[in-house]
Amino acid sequence: MSRPITARRRALESVAYALAFPAALIALWAGSALITPNRFFPGPARVMEAFVSTWLTDAFVVDVLPSLVRLALGIVLSIVLGISLGAVIGSFWVARSFLEPILEFFRAIPPPVLIPVLMLLLGITDEMKIVVIVSGAIWPVLLNTIEGVRAIDPVMRETAATYHLTRGSRVFSLVLPGAAPQIMAGVRQSLSVALILMVISEMFASSSGLGYRISYFQRNYLIAEMWSGIVLLGLIGIALSLIFQAAERVVLAWYHGLKEIERA
């Protein structure tokens, strides 16, 4: 039995499995749309048609692209701020006891309630929407970073102390990589939060963007178009998750290797 062929077959099989269930769902959807036509729930053919005519046009540049840019900026800012703040708070006992009650307070605030206030402060701008995204998406990264930094093995910290590692080495060769598995778990949660907030920020106060478009279609009874927007959101979610998985494979290569050895 030669290994590469089984590996390739397994890869093909897993792709087939991954596509089989969505295909079955679409078939079910098509069937139910045929049997019991519903004005608010058009069939897949109609939605697909609306998808092409709505999104694969200028709308992609006018509505989708700006949304994606805000989403990307919101995610990057959440990750950078979350990790840097988290590393500081996790490293210093004083910072932790000082800030943790406040963090609990702010974390409990649902970001959408900030939108009217932020509209007043920042206006109906890209900045406002990015702030809304960050205000929700930062928490999983921040809290997981704090936890990850605190959970770093004390023997490793003692190693760093006895070998007088430089400050830079401690941050970039101990604290950040040591907390990376937790940080990545936080980033994964942040991605879905960011996507939700991107849509909500545009539904409230906007005259462009994916969220604005979808609620516009709703208000104007363009049901198939609305559904095509929801499909597009789902596809963006899948794309985010694929990008995340690729990044995780690189960042946590050592971690997966280590786990594999421990399991063997």
Find the binder of another protein among 61, 108, 120, 155 (CB under 8 A): 155
Q: Distance between CA 63 and CA 212 in Å, rounded?
A: 8
Find the binder of another protein among 11, 161, 235, 239 (CB under 8 A): 161
Residue with smaller CB distance to another protein, 180 or 223:
180
Question: CA 259, 263, 264 angle in degrees (round to 5)?
Answer: 120
# binding residues, another protein (CB under 8 A): 23
Residue length of the chain: 264
**Minimal distance in Å, beta carbon 250 to another protein?**
12
Residue with smaller CB distance to another protein, 101 or 168:
168
Q: Distance between CA 90 and CA 88 in Å, rounded?
A: 5
Q: Give the residue among 145, 125, 132 at the shortest CA–CA distance from 80.
A: 145
Using rule CB under 8 A, residue 14 touches another protein: no
Residue 108 one-letter amino acid = A
**Minimal distance in Å, beta carbon 148 to another protein?**
13
**Minimal distance in Å, beta carbon 225 to another protein?**
48
Burial 50-71 (b: 16+ CB within 10 A, else e): bbeebbeeebeeebbebbbebb
Touching another protein, residues 168-197 (CB under 8 A): 168-169, 173-174, 177-178, 180
Residue with smaller CB distance to another protein, 164 or 219:
164
Residue with smaller CB distance to another protein, 22 or 154:
154
Is the four-CA dihedral 46, 48, 49, 55 of positive or negative sign? Answer: positive
**Minimal distance in Å, beta carbon 159 to another protein?**
5
